[in-house]
């Protein structure tokens, strides 16, 4: 026995719905669960791993597909993939309260993990544990923002935690090789960007081993490349200057 299904209906299961209102009409797309946030943060790149179908709906749960004329008048195109991308980027993810709470708890833990991986106590150079960072986040009443990436929020948490505890991003250890001709002038330009100069060796060129804030890495790299026209070099000796063992309060 066959069951009649209207041609403008598509049945889907295990769906995450993203909804967008445009031109006074409601449009929805059907995505796989737990993929929408990954797409928005850049973790997921393949659209086919996010979208269950490249169809645009007026109601996903009822399987009602949007009319072509409505799509053209509201989006200015009938390219379904392009419209899906717009809705995916700007639309509102429909999730139950339970799902939203679970998602926020996971993000909270992920943010604390990133902070713990990136930071140390500046006095002891020891890293903090994830659970200690989570407690500190609770103390400052940090609330997770579902529409911002965990990396962005981790940097914001670090800024806020600095007001209530001894914490800073772990320094990177770099080796800088500067040609003799530009060494003195370039060293003066680099000085404000270097936290600690551990050693200097002047032979055929100036070799410096130093600790820097990770946020300054790109600026230092560009400065050396531009000022020496590629004759200078920068080598990362270690991504984190840390002592063994975890920091405890």
Q: Give the sheet arrangement for strand 64-65, strand by strand.
A: 64-65, 57-59, 25-32, 15-22, 92-94
> Residues 160, 176: one domain?
no
State whether 114 and 155 are in the same domain. yes
* pLDDT band at 203; cut points 50, 70, 90: confident
- Kind plus residue range of the DSSP H or E element containing 116: helix 97-118
116 and 148 housed in the same domain: yes
CATH assignment at residue 146: 1.10.10.900
Q: Are residues 68 and 50 in the same domain?
A: yes
Q: What is the mean pLDDT of the chain?
A: 87
156 and 120 together in one domain: yes
Q: How confident is the model at residue 247 (pLDDT cuts 50, 70, 90)?
A: low
The answer to whether residues 160 and 195 belong to one domain is no
| Residue 28 pLDDT > 90 | yes
- The Cα-based distances of 122 to 98, 119, 198 in angstroms read 39, 9, 16
| Degrees to nearest 5, angle at CA 235 with 222 and 42 | 65
Q: What pLDDT does 243 receive?
A: 59
Please indicate, yes or no, if residue 25 is contained in any of the structural domains.
Answer: yes
Query: Does 110 lie in the same domain as 90?
Result: no
Asked, for residue 140, whether it belongs to a domain, the answer is: yes
Give the range of the structural domain holding residue 227, as residue numbers without chain letter.
Answer: 171-238
Minimum mean pLDDT range among 16-25, 169-178, 232-241:
232-241
Strand partners, 150: none
In a domain, 11, yes or no: no
The model's confidence at residue 2, banded by pLDDT at 50, 70 and 90, is: very low
Helical packing angle, 180-190 and 217-227, nearest 10°: 150
3-state helix, strand, coil in the chain (%, to 5): 40, 25, 35
Q: Look at residue 44 in the predicted model and tell me its pLDDT.
A: 85
Q: pLDDT at position 11, please?
A: 63
The pLDDT value recorded for residue 15 is 84
Cα 194 from Cα 189, distance rounded (Å)? 10
Q: What is the pLDDT of residues 48-105, one digit of tens each?
A: 999 999 999 999 988 899 999 999 999 999 999 999 999 999 999 887 778 778 888 9
Q: Are residues 27 and 88 in the same domain?
A: yes
The CA distance from 83 to 204, in Å, is 60
Domain count, the chain: 3
Of the spans 11-25, 120-134, 226-240, which averages the highest pLDDT?
120-134
Domain end position, chosen among 68, 94, 120? 94
Q: Mind giving me the DSSP string for 158-179?
A: HHHHTTTS--EEPPEEEEEEEE
Same domain, 214 and 226: yes
- Average pLDDT value for residue range 179-189: 88
Q: Which of 94, 120, 151 is the last residue of a domain?
A: 94
């Amino acid at each position: 026995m066959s069951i009649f299904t209207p041609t403008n209906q598509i049945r889907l299961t295990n769906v995450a719905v993203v909804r967008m209102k445009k031109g006074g009409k409601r449009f929805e797309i059907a995505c796989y669960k737990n993929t929408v946030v990954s797409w928005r943060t850049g973790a997921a790149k393949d659209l086919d791993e996010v979208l269950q179908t490249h169809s645009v709906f007026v109601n996903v749960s009822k399987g009602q597909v949007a009319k072509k004329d409505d799509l053209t008048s509201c989006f200015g195109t009938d390219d379904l993939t392009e419209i899906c991308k717009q809705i995916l980027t700007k639309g509102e993810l429909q999730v139950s309260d339970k799902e939203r709470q679970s998602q926020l708890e996971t993000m909270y833990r992920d943010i604390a993990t990133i902070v713990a991986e990136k930071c140390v106590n500046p006095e002891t150079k020891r890293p903090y544990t994830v659970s200690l960072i989570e407690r500190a986040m609770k103390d400052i009443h940090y609330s997770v923002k579902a529409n911002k990436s965990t990396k962005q929020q981790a940097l914001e948490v670090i800024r806020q935690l600095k007001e209530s505890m001894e914490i800073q991003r772990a320094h990177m250890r770099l080796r800088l090789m500067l040609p003799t001709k530009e060494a003195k002038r370039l060293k003066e330009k680099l000085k404000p960007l270097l936290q600690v100069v551990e050693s200097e060796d002047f032979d055929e060129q100036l070799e410096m081993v130093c600790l820097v804030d990770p946020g300054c890495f790109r600026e230092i790299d560009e400065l050396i490349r531009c000022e020496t026209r590629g004759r200078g070099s920068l080598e990362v000796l270690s991504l984190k200057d840390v002592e063994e063992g975890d920091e405890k309060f």
